[in-house]
Every structure is written in C-alpha cells, then in structure tokens.
Amino acid sequence: MINRLNIRQMTEEREKGLSPHAVKSRLSRGRLRPEEPCPVRTTFQRDRDRIIHSKAFRRLKHKTQVFIAPQGDHYVTRLTHTLEVSQIARTISRALNLNEDLTEAIALGHDLGHTPFGHVGEDVLNEVYHQGFRHNEQSLRVVDLLENDGKGLNLTWEVRDGIVNHAKTRIEVLGRDWGEVNTVEGEVCKLSDIVAYINHDTDDAIRAGIITEDDLPLSAIAVLGRSRSQRINTMVCDIIECSWAVRGDAVMASPAIAMSPEIVEATNALREFLFDRVYNLRATVKEAERARTVIRLLYKYFNEHKDGLPPEYHFYSNGIEQRVVDYIAGMTDQYAIRTAEKLPDKVKVA
Ligand code: MG
C-alpha cells in the first residue's frame, strides 16, 4: 500500500514549491554508498532519523555544554543545546521557505563529535593529539565511520557538509574561518548555533552565579532585549528579515543568510562579554582543571596500553593515537571520570 502511494515522491513534489535557493531532496548529491530510497521519507528525513537513533546522539545528554557536570537540573547539556539549535534553525528555514528537513538533520548532527567536558575537553585533545582535534571534524567521523559498528550512518553529502562546516572560532558572528558551508540550510544552522549558545550560556552563567543580569553589556541588552526569550526573538526575526531575499520571491543571484548591522554589533558585544567573563574563566575553575587531568590521563594511558581500548576501536583506524582520540571523544563526562578513576593508582599519581 505504502509503495503504491509513494509518500516520498509526493513530498518531493511538494518540495518544488520551496525557494529556488533551497536544496531539494531529490537533487541531493547522494550518499557515499548508494542506497534504495525509502518509500515514505525523503533522503534528508531519513538522515535526520538516523542521527536521532544513533548512540552518539543519546550520549549528548551526558556531555557538558559549558558548565562541567553541573549539579542543577536546569543547565543546558549538549543534547538540549542541539535541540535548541534545531528549533531556531527550523523556524528560520521554514520562514524563508528552505528545506526544513535538511536544516533539522544538520542541526541535530552538528555536535555529535563533541568531547566530554565541553570545549575544555576539545582544547586538551587538540593539545595532546599531534594531528590536532576539532569537534566538527570529529562529528563527520562519527557519522561517516564510528557509528553503526564502524559502518557509519551513510548520510547525504549536504548533511555531511553542514556538519563539518558548522563551526568557527572567536571571530565575529558573521565571520568565516573554519570552512564554508555549501547550502543555505547549512548557513542557517551555523548562525542558529550561535544564537542558541549565546542565549543559553548567558542564562546558565547567571544560574551559576558567575555573572548577574546587571553585568550584561547595556549596549547589547538595549538592542536585543532583557530576557532570554526577547533576545532570541530579536535575533531570529532580524535574521529572517535580513535574509528575506533567500525566499527567492524576487530574482537575486545568490542571496545570503544575514543580520542587520545593529543586531550584529549587539550580538558580537554579548558574545565577547561571554568569552571574557564566562568561557575563559573555565580554565581557572577547579572542575576544568580536573577535566583536563582526566583527559590527559586517559590519553596517555590508552596510548601506552592499547589492549585496554574496547575491541571495536581497533577497526576504525590503523593509528593508535587516532583510536584513542575516537574513544575519548565519544565519552560522556561521567564515563570519562569513571574510566579515569579505574586506572591503576600509579598511573593516576604520575
Ligand atoms: Mg553547537
């Protein structure tokens, strides 16, 4: 019955009404290994579902965003961050008549390669591993190779591109440095990631007592709003308005996802404030030091004791260091701490 109706083809037909700048699932550049299409879901919907059912996605629940293994129930984790990015990106995508399914798949997959202990974990792995470590590249490794017992999720080119090119350094919100994303949907996710973390990290920093609402830069708050929901709303509406040409109602060669100069300035000010007052503080707090020690210890130990690695990690790479990085990057905060505690005493002292 399902085959006769072919629901997927009906959805693909509907996608013809999307913006001329949207990616149509039928025109995807395809998967690393070709597969029979699903009778019900488009290729991007299928990618989204594969990500949701992956083990790496479940582990996001126990990975730190900024505050390491916090006691409170209301702190953001990698999982809730991911869901917030997805919500914001889908809202923008739908408003701009883009492919919401592609947007959702990229957003849900973007942080799958994140280490335990947030950016502290990422920084340490980057220091110790001679080839360097970036969470966005690891996210691609997860979906291409590590998930599904070493077979990977075999996602489409567009979702993989959005995942590997989502990240950037401390440069301004519209700046580019860690790779260009090649779809408008990917652009939406890249900006939505920033909108999400600026706002929930501000909230969490206040919750943790690191800053108070009165510390927030007045110039930014005056433009963006006093509450978290006001600020998200201001940013999202501004992005939609400034990116309206992406809908394709008027002819324009390659319109971009954009923000107005006023909102960009206020957003940059708030982000810089977070870097100075919240993110860089991580290096000094006790939990961050403990997290650094745990990662360094695990890295050293497993490089010297490769038989201690779970057997499946031996298939993923020929290099022992890469195997150790794959293993550690996949750990949740608590798993990393438990594993380090179980190491022989003489290793821990050293
Ligand atoms: Mg993110």
Instruction: Kindly give the residue spans of alpha helices, DSSP state H, lying in the chain.
Output: 2-5, 7-14, 43-52, 55-59, 78-95, 100-109, 118-128, 135-141, 147-150, 157-164, 184-207, 218-224, 228-242, 261-274, 286-304, 313-316, 320-330, 333-341, 345-349
* pLDDT at residue 296 is higher than 60: yes
Q: Cα–Cα–Cα angle for 20, 111, 167, nearest 5°?
A: 65
CA of 272 to the centre of ligand 1 (A): 17
CA of 240 to the centre of ligand 1 (A): 20
Which tokens sit at 60?
Answer: 């996001």
Could you tell me which residue, 169 or 200, shows the higher pLDDT?
200
CA of 65 to the centre of ligand 1 (A): 9
Which tokens sit at 317?
Answer: 């790479």
* pLDDT for res 146: 94
- Nearby residues of 308 by Cβ (< 8 Å), 6 or more positions away: 301, 302
pTM for the full predicted model: 0.94
CA of 135 to the centre of ligand 1 (A): 10
pLDDT above 90 coverage of the chain, percent:
75
CA of 67 to the centre of ligand 1 (A): 14
CA of 194 to the centre of ligand 1 (A): 7
CA of 303 to the centre of ligand 1 (A): 29
CA of 14 to the centre of ligand 1 (A): 30
Chain segment 200-255, per-residue pLDDT in tens: 999 999 998 889 999 999 999 999 999 999 999 999 999 999 999 999 887 777 78
Exposure b/e, 224-251, CB count within 10 A at least 16 = b: bbeeeeebbebbbebbbebbebbbbeee
CA of 160 to the centre of ligand 1 (A): 15
77 pairs with which residues across the strands?
Answer: 64
Give just the sign of the alpha carbon dihedral 297, 299, 304, 306.
Answer: positive
Could you tell me which residue, 51 or 277, shows the higher pLDDT?
51
CA of 193 to the centre of ligand 1 (A): 5
CA of 84 to the centre of ligand 1 (A): 9
pLDDT above 70 coverage of the chain, percent:
93
Model confidence band, residue 279 (pLDDT cutoffs 50, 70, 90): confident
Per-domain residue ranges for the chain?
A: 42-282
* pLDDT for res 164: 95
Mean pLDDT, range 265-285, rounded to an integer: 83
CATH architecture of the domain formed by 42-282: Orthogonal Bundle (1.10)
* pLDDT at residue 5 is higher than 70: no
